[in-house]
Amino acid sequence: MSALGRKSDQVYNWIRAYIDENKFSANLKLPSEHVICMRLDVSRETVRQALDRLAREELVYKVRGSGTYINKAVALSREMGNASACVKIGLILQGQDANANSGLISGIRNVMREKQADLHLFFTDNKFSSERNCLNVVAYQDYDGFIVDGVKASLLNPNLDCYRYIYQKKIPVIFYNNYYKELKYPRVINNDWKCALELLGLLARAGHKHIAGIFVYDNYQSIEKFRGYVTALRKYGVEFDDDYVKWCVSNEAHSPGFYKEVGKFLKGLPKCTAIVCCNFMILQAVRRSMEESGKRVPEDYSLVCFDYSGSDWEEAGITCSVHPGYQMGQQVGSRLLRMIENHEYADNGYSYVFEPRIYEGRSIRRIGGTERGGRTGGTG
């Protein structure tokens, strides 16, 4: 499938989720093409492909000079038409990393296809208010279970009462990536602490002593990555310096202008030779900042990245942990189905931890020598 086709599928899924969330309300108008382009960082052509597909399915219709609207009658009849499905599952996504979401959704659908599961997507945009709306839908519309990526999971969540109500109703729930420690639900996660040890180890063994890190503080995954970052520095005898760590909130890291903040941060670190990016979106901001300032990888800065979710990691040559999007979807989907079949709604052994899959690319320069660290291919 072409890149345009993949992006069109992502837009299609996002709009389908918007329709699911709004088909019972009085708000039947879709966001404008411009708003969707800005929100999902895609072209108008991509958005129009997705809208044309939805129009052919009669889920939306266009009004000249006004916009695109949800066809409420069709949307509600589609809901009724799925009543024969074996199970009805809600998938609550943050929606900020479209590449990772695409792989995850494909993995979930793959394992649920034979069960004829009815999968409904919801997007929170990493907002507590949106998460609460999603939870109210799955709690009161006869869902058999749901899968969720927690919102700002390192902070105190104001929606724990919703989760406790769902727990009392004995609706199975499984988290992936981010979860809430206050709850007893299972989770499928990456071993981010161990991943940090491996990535930092590659930098340290290449001679790097001044290693910057960019992390988000409202994300549980990022906190674990930072914990591993600090542990690795100590393990390899590198002094920790607070000035070499940039903290930001998730929404800030995903904003178009974040690369400018990255540039200011790096200008204040004249000795810095390497940068640790806690996710794919931050890596993109770092690379854009470097391009604008005329810096090169790895000559000026060595780069490593957690959770590389693009499909071009070998071509890009960035030393990284490869995000297990599809495999994570398979794991989280199959485990939720077993919970539903076994009438289990607490953890009871359903959690799973992915070990790091490290790709050693061409983005690490060896300090004090001509050889550049990292193999040209392979995973570990």
Q: Which are the contacts of 174, defined by CB distance < 8 A and separation ≥ 6?
A: 145, 147, 148, 185, 186, 187, 188, 332, 335, 336, 339, 350
Residue bearing the bigger pLDDT, 57 or 18 = 57
Q: Residue 252 in 3-state DSSP?
A: helix
Q: Residue 214 in 3-state DSSP?
A: strand
The Cα–Cα gap between 247 and 168 comes to 37
Report the mean per-residue pLDDT for the chain.
87
Sheet of strand 319-322: strand arrangement: 245-248, 211-216, 274-277, 302-308, 319-322, 358-359
Residue 233 half-sphere exposure, CB side, CA atoms within 13 Å?
19
pLDDT digits (tens, 9 = 90+) for 235-248: 999 999 999 999 99
Global pTM value: 0.80
Confidence of residue 375 (pLDDT cuts 50, 70, 90): very low
From the centroid of its chain, how far is CA 19?
A: 21
The Cα–Cα gap between 92 and 175 comes to 9
Instruction: Provide, rounded to the nearest whole percent, the portion of the chain with pLDDT above 90.
Output: 59
Q: Torsion angle, CA of 230/232/234/239, rounded to 10 degrees?
A: -70
∠ at Cα 30 (38, 39), nearest 5°?
A: 15
Q: Is the pLDDT of residue 5 over 80?
A: no
Q: Is the pLDDT of residue 251 over 50?
A: yes
- Confidence at residue 319, expressed as pLDDT on a 0 to 100 scale: 97
pLDDT digits (tens, 9 = 90+) for 143-192: 899 999 999 999 999 999 999 999 999 999 999 999 999 998 999 999 99
Confidence of residue 376 (pLDDT cuts 50, 70, 90): very low
Q: What is the average pLDDT across 246-257?
A: 88
- Among residues 277, 282, 329, 278, the alpha carbon closest in space to that of 102 is found at 329
Confidence of residue 288 (pLDDT cuts 50, 70, 90): very high
